[in-house]
Amino acid sequence: MPLTFVTARIWKKILRSEVVDIAWFTKTKSLDELKKQYRELALQYHPDMPNGDTEKMKQINSEYDTLFPAFQTIYNRTAPTPSQESARQSRDEFYTQNGWKGANYDSNRSTGDVSKILREYVKRVYPDHKNSITTQYYSGGSDIHVALMTAPYEALKNGKQHSLNQYYLKEDEALTPAAKRVMLDINRVINSYRMSDCDSMIDYFNVSFYYNLSVGKWNKPFEVAERPAGRKTQKSVSEEVLDFSETDFLTDVDLEDDEDLEQ
C-alpha cells in the first residue's frame, strides 16, 4: 500500500477525532518531519525560552502526542529497525546540539536521591575520607555541593580551602595528585546522573541539577586525617586511568550496590 495513501487515510482519521484539533503540524508527512517540527516549535514556545508560551506549548504537546503513534506506524512499515519509543520519550530529546545524558540519568530521580547515592558511593570507595555532601533547592532548580573535608594525605599544595572548577579539574594545579584522582572520580560519578541541554547562544539553560566541588569550606578548612591501621582505600572506577577523555563520564559508572542504594 503506498505510503501517501496510508498517510492520507491516517490524517482523515485524525482530523475526525474529537481528541485534538490539529493546528501546528498540518503539513507533516513523516515521523522525522514531525520530530523536526516539534523541536523547532519547542525552541520557540517552550516556557523556558525567552519568548515561551505555556498554553501554546501545551497545545503543541497534545498534537504531537496524538500524531506520533500514527506517523510511527507509517515509519515502522519500512524501517529496518522499528521505532519502539513513545511520544513522551521522544519529547525528552534535547533541543540543543550540545545536549547530553549521563548513563545513570533518570528523570524520576530527584537531586536528593542523587546525593544519597553519592554519599553511599564515597563512603564505600573512600572509607578513610570525609566528604560533606549537601543538597539545596531553590526557585531556579537545585544543586549538590561536595566538599572534601578530610583525607589521609594533603589535598592541596598550599592552603586548606579551595573551590574547584569542574570543567578544568585535570588542569587544577592547586590539587595534589591523590586529591585530583578522587575529585575527578567524584566528578565523573555526579555527571553520570545528570543531563544538560544548554545553549548560551540562545539563552537556553536546562539541566537536571547544578553542582559545586571544593576542598574544605570557607568556614571549615580541610584537615589531614590519619588512616586507620590496616584500612586501605578501595580502588575507584577511574583510579587506574587518571587521564580519561572528556566524554568518559557519559559511560556507565560501575556501582555495585546501585539498586540497594536507591531503596
The low-confidence residues of the chain, meaning pLDDT below 70, are: 1-21, 48, 93-97, 200-204, 227-263
Distance CA 99, CA 205 (A): 10
Question: Where does 61-169 show beta strands of DSSP type E?
Answer: 100-101, 130-138, 141-151, 162-164
The amino acid present at 77, given as its one-letter code, is R
Residue range(s) in the chain whose domain bears CATH number 1.10.287: 3-93
Distance CA 230, CA 217 (A): 29
Strands 210-215 and 100-101: unpaired
| Nearest residue to 90 via CA among 104, 75, 110, 109 | 75
pLDDT at 257: 34
Which overall architecture, per CATH, does domain 3-93 show? Orthogonal Bundle (1.10)
pLDDT at 9: 58
| Nearest residue to 250 via CA among 34, 128, 100 | 100
Q: Are 129 and 107 in contact (CB under 8 A)?
A: no
Strands 210-215 and 162-164: antiparallel
Q: H or E element: which one contains 44? A: helix 31-45
Strand partners, 223: 150
pLDDT at 11: 56
Q: Is the pTM of this model over 0.95?
A: no
**pLDDT tens readout for residues 36-79:** 898 888 878 877 677 788 889 889 988 898 899 988 988 898 88
End-to-end CA distance of the chain: 51
**In the 8-state DSSP scheme, what is residue 115?**
H
pLDDT at 5: 47
User: Phi and psi at residue 102, in whole multiples of 5°?
Assistant: -75, 160
**In the 8-state DSSP scheme, what is residue 7?**
H
Cell 578522587: give the residue. Answer: 182
